[in-house]
Chains A and B, each alone.
Chain A
């Protein structure tokens, strides 16, 4: 299990590295990662401070989430295929963790703040899990947090439609109770694998 998680992360790193030509800041290098003697990753150099608005309209920062593990996902509510799958996976991770899931806060940060206002986020996230917190902000605030998590996103307009879609990277990030990113999972990682990783960290 430990091994598959590690291989998964290594694969993720290789793939992310392959994007080097596209955007230098997206790259996670070996020296961005710190491990403990057991080989468990204790920090990935990304993430950090943010200033956003939650789906109830309250201003929140990274400090509001300290003390709990946090699962962070970047997406947008108009996305009908990939984002619902990822959010359903997050809900399954919580199910899998049972009561331990109370120590995990799931967060969706929109990369489409123009349309994803708090009320839009609010109705959407409750379709998946009662405890998911939706975060939005100004375009600048979103750009800042996305850069910290090395999220790539781009608006895609099409003359055929009166609205637009977004291209985006869709990792799920695990942040520890101190606010340090400790894992990232590629789209499609089985929820049981994510839950196992979280459990391993909970045990230390």
Chain B
């Protein structure tokens, strides 16, 4: 009973976290705009995308991620073998070279929530703890956008305008 109440408090706490930070600092690493996609109640996997800027002079690596929202969290890469799309787990972690930024994005490297415990709804946040080889660990909160979202637009804009779509709703190429 007590655990149940405590659990609901935790759930309420993250559902109602009003202001969502868009930047998380960890030593020389800046993690920006973490986001996720809404799922249906049947889907057993979800995704988290983000950008990691390494302003230090040493290469770091995202080696592990954990989340209370899923049984497991895996670092994945989407690779194209001919025209076959394959998801591969990243064995040695995601390298974040010195003085550069790495983006985890649709159709490329991503953090995969395997065995989702419940549906992810648009507007909710998903907590994920990231473990880096050198910088250590930090908890970030990814904002859930709609199921087919391409992520936050206007990356250089300050302020919290996730899903700030351009007028026509998509990028021109």
Residues of A within 8 A of B (CB): 12, 15-16, 18-19, 22, 77-82, 84-85, 87-89, 91-92, 95, 115, 119-120, 123-124, 127-128, 152, 156, 158, 160-163, 165, 167-171, 186-188, 190-193
Contacts of A77 in B (CB 8 A): 40, 42-43
Known: A128-B147, A161-B72, A171-B83. A80 touches B115 (CB 8 A): no
Whether, in the assembled complex, B45 has its beta carbon less than 8 Å from a beta carbon of chain A, the answer is: yes
Closest approach, in angstroms, between the C-beta of B94 and any C-beta of chain A? Answer: 15
Which 8 A-B pairs rank lowest in CB-CB distance, beginning with the nearest?
A: A88-B148, A127-B147, A19-B82, A123-B40, A120-B42, A190-B173, A124-B40, A80-B47
Contact residue range for chain B? 35 or more
Q: Do residues B169 and A92 form an inter-chain contact, with CB atoms below 8 A?
A: yes
Choose one: B46, B78, B82, B107; the contact of A15 (CB below 8 Å): B82
Q: Do residues B107 and A187 form an inter-chain contact, with CB atoms below 8 A?
A: yes
Stretch at the interface among B84-92, B127-135, B155-163: B84-92
Closest approach, in angstroms, between the C-beta of A156 and any C-beta of chain B? Answer: 8
27 interchain pairs, CB-CB under 8 A = A16-B83, A19-B83, A77-B42, A77-B43, A80-B113, A81-B110, A82-B78, A85-B107, A85-B148, A85-B150, A88-B150, A91-B148, A119-B42, A120-B42, A127-B39, A156-B87, A160-B74, A163-B44, A163-B45, A163-B114, A163-B115, A167-B84, A168-B84, A169-B85, A171-B83, A187-B80, A190-B170
